[in-house]
Structure 1
Amino acid sequence: MRFPFFKKKTKKQRYTVAFYNLENLFDPKRNSKILDKDYTPDGAKKWTVERYQRKLAKLAKTIVNIGEKDHPYPPALIGVAEAENNSVLTALLHTDPMDDLDYGFIHFDSPDERGIDTGLIYRKRFFKVLHSEPLVLLVDNPGGVRDTTRDILYVKGELNKELVHVFVNHWPSRRDGDVATEYKRVIAAKEIVLKIEQIRLEELDPNIIVMGDFNDDPSSKSLQDLKEGAALFNPMETLHIPDSQGSSVYGNKWNMFDQILVSNSFFNYEKNTHSFDSAAIYDDKSLKEKKGKYKGSPYRTFVSDRYMGGYSDHFPVYAMFTFNS
């Protein structure tokens, strides 16, 4: 925390923008169009209404507290990944304590075979949606068969009446190996760069926020391509310490797959604009394993088919913005 001396006290209007991978937020109903059988009462994970409601309560409590050490008010924008459908997001927004904050959300069903999608949750008091659309991500597996992965969610809106372009991502996984699947995430980065180039042809110095679970670290080629190709700033680069700090853990190594990148336009301090302030991982002790070999890592809902009763296998990340009034 900074304590500037000899400075007149001023009232700062601050806003939190967050991203959270919800770890398979499925409802318990069977949907024959997607691979969700495991997340039903009779499925491998014994996903009951009680377990579902317990998870909703944990996620809702977490979301409203993201960034609480830097700002005592709930986030204005929250990008999410691994939400099954409109139903689960509606249920989340109607769960205490989110139900009293007048949140809305944007979501589109994607081609993902498991039915896990991205979404943008926003406080209607601060954010007005002007346009939204899914950007189809066309990538093929070896052999030319399409990888039915998640779309990229694009939302154009006004944050406190300032125009902002938001991209919410959940890039192709590393399931078949990080090197073997790298090209898919490089393609995803290129799609966003192309869209941002189009926006910049239509708008002078636009405000861009790109957030998501990128399944790559800040130093990976895909994120470097995105940062350089779209002229973005990535505050998450300094937060990643592979031996001890990140947003998720795999094989005793910390990853920083969850990131928020911003355009350089957020480094101006003109009246009625937002300025980037700081970024952090929200790794509150309630979200961590308390003991055992996984102590300190994210407190998960499941480990394979074993129910742990936790929150998510990812920590949320967030960025703080100051409104220059």
Structure 2
Amino acid sequence: MRIKNVFAFIVMFFIVGIATSQEKKADKKFIVNTVAFYNFENLFDTINQANNDEEWLPRGAQNWTSKKYHQKLENLARVLSEIGTNDTNHNAPVLIGGCEIENRGVLEDLIKQPKLAVNDYGIVHYESPDKRGIDVALLYQKKHFKPMSSVNVPLLIYRNESKEKDKETEEDKLDKDKIEAKTGERVYTRDILLVTGFLDGEEVNVMVNHWPSRSGGEKKSSPFREAAGRLARKIMDSIYKVNPNAKIIAMGDLNDGTYNKSVKEGIGAKRKKEEVKEFGVYNPFEQMAKDGHCTLFYRDAGDIFDQIMVSETLIKTDYSSFRYWKSGIYNKPYMITTVGQYKGYPLRHGANEVGFSDHFPVYIYLIKEAK
């Protein structure tokens, strides 16, 4: 009888202990910040400037009027203001990477939209040498993020990659982001934007990418994106040399899937957290792609070109500082084409409708325990 009583007491002790532990875990409060990326798809104003914007003028092929431009801004602002609000007490993303941006002016117009103005966004933007005149940029909520430095890192790539194998130094082997032929022509594309700052007091490095397109075919253009992947990796390694514990977020429209060589070998991204070694990179969107999710349709096949990757330092289990929590693709019904040949595709600009983009935006959550 005594043995039964002792056993009952032990069982009760463990039940109470487990319940108390779960209650404490449930009681923990976390700070949740959303980081997003969105391809704005041809965010051009209606002013003729010294770039290839003729198509996006009132008399251009798109008949791009002031009314359409402002509708586009309103549409983008609606999406950006909603991303992540289900899990962050209605707070829009603290960091937003964007691409296909004509100039700083269109960003200034965008953040003045009522749905975004309440968050007081700042802008980090540089003009890039892209032949279409489009750039990448970072928007940030001033009350949460304080940029300390920024740089536009050029991607130097050339057509007709040389087949000659000259002797290479160790430095040359590391500097393969420069694909060059003796008679080659430079491919002018977007630079990689690197911004270092403090997110609610913690240093974070953010890279915004828009890698070379698949113009001319995926196979023919792949070396350009592979070069972009190596350049992105080189930037990360440079950051780690200064600070081995650096937190890095790499985001962008890569024009490649999570499985392509540019991502898997160039950056060295891993699908599973347990595969990520020191100084490594975790890509949560690889599993999402494997599960059949997509951010765009390319030649009638869905894929995830828009990705956000994080450094090994952001996937540790100590939540006393910011860590990666989870990721998602923002694709609400109003952003999706409902009829016709492109039913199910992202709702983009057309002859009779100003849409959103041909891409869905992506996002991740960073969390830490509140003090």
TM-score interval (norm. to shorter): over 0.9
Residue 151 of structure 1 is matched in structure 2 by 191
Is 1:309 matched with 2:360?
A: no
Give me the whole-angstrom Cα distance separating, in 2, the residues matched to 1:166 and 1:298: 26
Q: Partners of 1:156 and 1:89 in 2: how far apart?
A: 20
Give distance in 2, aligned partners of 1:137 and 1:166: 17
Bigger shift: residues 229-238 or 264-273: 264-273
Report what 1:320 is aligned to: 365
How big is the shift at 1:241? 5.0
- 1:143-187 per-position Cα deviation (integer Å, ceiling 9, x unaligned): 611111011101011111111111000000001111000100111
Task: Give the Å deviation of 1:27.
Answer: 0.3
Query: Is the Cα–Cα contact under 8 Å of residues 162 and 272 in structure 1 kept in the other structure?
Result: no
Letter of the 2:311 partner, please give it.
S
> 1: CA distance between counterparts of 2:294 and 2:349?
19
- SS of equivalent to 2:224: helix
The residue that corresponds to 2:289 in the other structure is 240
Partner of 2:274: none
Are residues 1:279 and 2:327 paired? yes
State yes or no: 1:180 paired with 2:220. Answer: yes
Question: Secondary structure of the residue that 1:131 maps to in structure 2?
Answer: strand
Secondary structure (helix, strand or coil) at the match of 1:262 reads: strand
Counterpart position of 1:64: 81
Letter in 2 for 1:297: Y
Tell me the matched-pair count: 317
Q: Which residue of 2 aligns with 1:255?
A: 303
Confirm or deny: 8 A CA contact 2:151 2:195 kept in the other structure.
yes
Residue aligning to 1:131: 149
Q: Is the 8 A contact 2:296 2:359 kept in 1?
A: yes
> Do 1:103 and 1:123's aligned partners in 2 also have CA atoms closer than 8 Å?
yes
In the alignment, the residues of structure 2 paired with residue 53 and residue 267 of structure 1 have an alpha-carbon distance, to the nearest angstrom, of 40
Q: Does 1:44 pair with 2:92?
A: no
Deviation at 1:5, TM superposition (A): 6.0
- For 2:340, which of 278, 289, 292 is the aligned residue? 292
Deviations 1:62-121 (A, max 9, x none): 101012333331001000000100100000000111112111010000001111100000
The aligned residue for residue 223 of structure 1 is 263
TM-score (norm 1): 0.93
> Sequence identity of aligned pairs in percent?
36
Report the secondary structure of 1:199's partner residue. helix
Report if aligned partners of 2:29, 2:369 keep a CA contact under 8 Å in 1.
Answer: no
- Which residue identity does 2:53 align to in structure 1? D
Instruction: Please give the secondary structure, in 1, of the residue aligned with 2:68.
Output: helix
How far did residue 226 of structure 1 move? 3.7
Q: CA deviation at 1:240?
A: 1.3
Letter in 2 for 1:183: P
Structure 2 contact 230–267 (Cα < 8 Å) conserved: no
Q: Counterpart of 2:366 in 1: which secondary structure?
A: strand
What letter corresponds to residue 240 of structure 2 in structure 1?
Answer: R
What whole-Å deviation, never above 9, does each CA across 1:258-288 have from its counterpart, x for those lacking one? 0000001112344651011001100111111
1:318 positional shift: 0.3
Map Cα deviations across residues 225-268 of structure 1 (whole Å, 9 max, x no partner): 244276100000011158x5300012220010000000011123
Query: Which range moved further: 38-47 or 269-278?
Result: 269-278
Q: Which runs of 5+ in 2 are unaligned?
A: 1-20, 161-182, 270-278
Which consecutive residues of structure 1, in runs of 5 or more, have no partner in the other structure?
none
Q: CA RMSD in A?
A: 1.7
Letter of the 1:231 counterpart: G
- 2:103 pairs with 69, 82, 85, which one? 85
Q: Find the residue that maps to 1:239 and give its secondary structure.
A: helix
The answer as to 2:239 corresponding to 1:203 is no
Residue 28 of structure 1 corresponds to: 46
How far the C-alpha of 1:22 sits from its partner, in A, is 0.2
Q: State the partner residue of 1:17.
A: 35
Tell me which moved more, 8-17 or 257-266.
8-17
Match of 2:204 in 1: 164
Residue 301 of structure 1 deviates from its aligned partner by 1.4
Matched to 1:10, the amino acid is: K
Q: Give the drift of 1:198.
A: 1.4
Cα deviation, residue 10, structure 1: 2.4
